Amino acid sequence: MPTTESLDPAAVGRQFDRRGPDLARADFLYREIERQMLERLDVVRLAPERVLDLGCGLGKGLLALAQRYENARLVGLDRSGPVLAAARPAVRPSAGGWLGRLLASRSSTANRIQLLQADAAAVPLPAGSVDLVWSNLCLHWLSDPSAVLAEAYRVLRAQGLFMFSQFGVDTLKELRGPDDRLPHFADMHDIGDALTRIGFADPVMDVHWVTLTFDSPGQLLADLHSLGGNPVRGRRPGLTSRERHRRWLDTLAAWRERDGRLELTVEVVFGHAWCPEVKRRADGLTPITIQRPGATG
């Protein structure tokens, strides 16, 4: 999985810090992909004691996982403080009066969820402490996703599961040209190869294409902004002028479909892989156990 060199990590952080609650505008896509990920878990035999959500966003995925795994402890990790602040009311809903506060403090779901502000490439959890690492539409915003895959491998216990989704190469294909300055996303096969190199076993990858439709160019741009904006290196600095913004809207309006609506493709890569029973060590070597054969009579 190549490093996403086109992304500016500082710009990614600023983009999401500015949004916070505005991420809810893109919630329709997150929830649909979450639903499909949960369906894929239906065929997996797993009873995790601890679950890590990498890039937990507004926390709704944590709540869905808490409902599915009623005995699990869950950790939601996100780099953005404002995003986590927006997630806290969903994870720990406020209640009026002393009785409401008492009931909220005793909520089994709230007591099982912990929110952490941290970098996904430096997870503040011990090695081998998690049974399921979950990541919904996060990896494509990371400048070095391979480092994050390695962290997922580190914190997973042997025979733990890593399940994720991310944008694929065809995402935003309608907006691309010979000199576009948009984020470029990894190919499904490169992701699978990276999982194998790190030490994961039996990676399974598949793709699903989502067609988003919009009534106006303004609506399209607003939704793209809420999905993460354009944090690429070399993008035009400063605010866009009114004239340039108008030309951009006119360009988008020119490729309306026959029904008058605008369409935009999102390729979603789904993947999961297992930690083997014998994990590689931090130095990349796999320990070998030698047993003496039993004595024969």
Mean pLDDT on 158-177: 90
pLDDT on residue 280: 72
- pLDDT tens digits along 57-102: 999 999 999 999 999 999 999 999 999 998 998 887 655 555 445 4
Q: Where are the domains of the chain?
A: 9-169+184-208+270-274
Mean pLDDT on 128-148: 92
CATH superfamily membership of 9-169+184-208+270-274: Vaccinia Virus protein VP39 (3.40.50.150)
| pLDDT of 297 over the 50 cut | no
**50 C-beta neighbours (distance < 10 Å), count:** 20
**250 C-beta neighbours (distance < 10 Å), count:** 10
Check residue 120 and report its DSSP letter.
Answer: T
- Distance CA(46)–CA(271), nearest Å, equals 16
- Distance CA(262)–CA(219), nearest Å, equals 10
pLDDT on residue 192: 92
Mean pLDDT on 115-119: 95
Mean pLDDT on 178-202: 86
Quote the pTM value: 0.82
pLDDT on residue 16: 77
- Distance CA(291)–CA(258), nearest Å, equals 71
Mean pLDDT on 9-16: 73
| pLDDT of 171 over the 70 cut | yes
- Distance CA(213)–CA(93), nearest Å, equals 33
Mean pLDDT on 3-23: 69
- pLDDT tens digits along 234-270: 555 544 556 655 665 666 666 666 677 888 889 999 9
Considering only CA atoms, which of 113, 22, 121 is closest in space to residue 64?
113
